[in-house]
Chain A
Amino acid sequence: MNSLMIYLAIGVLLFVLGLLAVLTSKNLVKILMGVELILNGAGLNFVAFTRFVAGNLDGQLAALFIIVVAASEAAVALAIILNFYRQIRSIDVDLADSLRG
C-alpha cells in the first residue's frame, strides 16, 4: 500500500475496463457507466501522483474537478438518453442512424 505502482496499476485497469465497456456495449446507459469507470481511473491516478510525486495537493483539486465534470456529464447524458428513448423506444446505439446518408 506504500507504492505508487499499485495505484497506477489499478488506474490502468479501471481505464481499460471502461474503454472496453464503451467500445463493446450497445446499451447507452452501459456506455455511460464505462465513461464513469474511465473518469474514476483518471481521478485515482491524480490522487496517487499528488501523494507520491507532487508534494502538494494540486492533484486532489484536479480529481475534485473531475468529479464535478462527471456529475454534470451524467445529468446531461441521461437527459439525452431519455429523449432518445422517447423517440425510438429503445436505447440501442445502433438505432441512432437518422443522420446517415
Chain B
Amino acid sequence: MDPTPSLFAQILFVIAAVVTVVSAAIVVFSGRILHSAFALLFTFCGVAALYVFLFADFLAVTQILIYVGGILILIIFGLLLTQRVMDLRFIDQSHQRIGSVLLAAVFAAALIAVVVGTPWRIASQSDAPTVEIIGVSMLTQYLVPFEMASMLLLVALIGAVWLARPRRGYHE
C-alpha cells in the first residue's frame, strides 16, 4: 500500500468515519424512532466505506446488500407495522438513563484500556482482492461453518414465517 495515502483518500476516510459515528449517535439519541431508522442507513453505509478502506471489497458489498437491502428494510417494515400509522412522531421515551450511562462508561473504559494496553503486532498488509481467497476458504477450511450458516438461515426464516403468521385465536 502507498505509505502516504493521497489527500483525497484521507478526506474521504475522515468523512466516512465521521458519518459512521455521528449517525450512530443520532440512532441512539434521536427521540423519533423513524429518524433513528434512517440514521442507521448512514451508519451501515459508513461501515461499508470503512471496509473499503480496509481492503475488504467483498465484505463491503455484502454489508450494503444484506444490511441496507435486507436488515434495514426489515426494521423499517417492523417499525411501520407496529406503530399507529397516524402517529407519525413515534416518540421513544428512554428510561434508566443514569445506570445505563454508567454501565456504558464502564464498558468503554475497559475496552479502551485493552486497546491501548495491548502491544499490537502490526503484520505486513496485502492489497490483493479478497473474493477468491474468501470463496476458496468457504469451501475448504470453513466448509462446516458455511453449511451451518445456511442451515441457520433456513431454520431462522422458516421459524420467522411460522412465528409471524396470523392465527385465528387472538387476531381480533
Binding site for B on A (CB under 8 A): 1-2, 4-10, 12-21, 23-30, 32-34, 36-37, 40, 43-44, 47-48, 50-55, 57, 60-61, 63-65, 67-76, 78-83, 85-87, 91, 94
Indicate if the CB atoms of A51 and B13 lie closer than 8 Å. no
| Residues of B contacting A: mostly | helix
Binding site for A on B (CB under 8 A): 1, 3, 5, 9-10, 13, 17, 20-21, 24-25, 27-28, 33, 36-37, 40, 43-44, 47, 50-51, 53-56, 58-59, 62-63, 66-67, 70-71, 74-75, 77-79, 81-83, 92-97, 99-101, 103-104, 107-108, 111-112, 115, 120-125, 130, 133-134, 137-138, 142, 145, 149, 152-153, 155-157, 159-164, 170-171
Top 3 A-B residue pairs of the complex, sorted by shortest distance between their CB atoms: A72-B156, A23-B100, A79-B163
A23 neighbours in B (Cβ, 8 Å): 96, 99-100, 103-104
Shortest C-beta distance, A67 to chain B (Å), equals 5
Indicate if the CB atoms of A78 and B160 lie closer than 8 Å. yes
- 13 additional A-B pairs beyond A20-B101, A63-B56, beta carbons within 8 Å, are A8-B115, A12-B108, A14-B24, A24-B100, A25-B94, A28-B82, A36-B67, A36-B75, A44-B50, A57-B137, A61-B145, A80-B163, A94-B95
Closest to A24 in B: B94
Indicate if the CB atoms of B130 and A76 lie closer than 8 Å. no
Indicate if the CB atoms of B40 and A10 lie closer than 8 Å. no
Indicate if the CB atoms of B170 and A1 lie closer than 8 Å. no
Provide 30 A-B residue pairs closer than 8 Å at the C-beta atoms, listed in order of the A residue: A1-B9, A4-B122, A7-B54, A13-B21, A14-B21, A14-B43, A16-B107, A19-B104, A20-B100, A24-B96, A25-B92, A29-B78, A29-B82, A30-B33, A30-B92, A40-B67, A43-B59, A47-B56, A51-B125, A55-B124, A57-B137, A67-B62, A72-B153, A73-B156, A78-B160, A78-B164, A79-B159, A79-B160, A86-B170, A91-B82
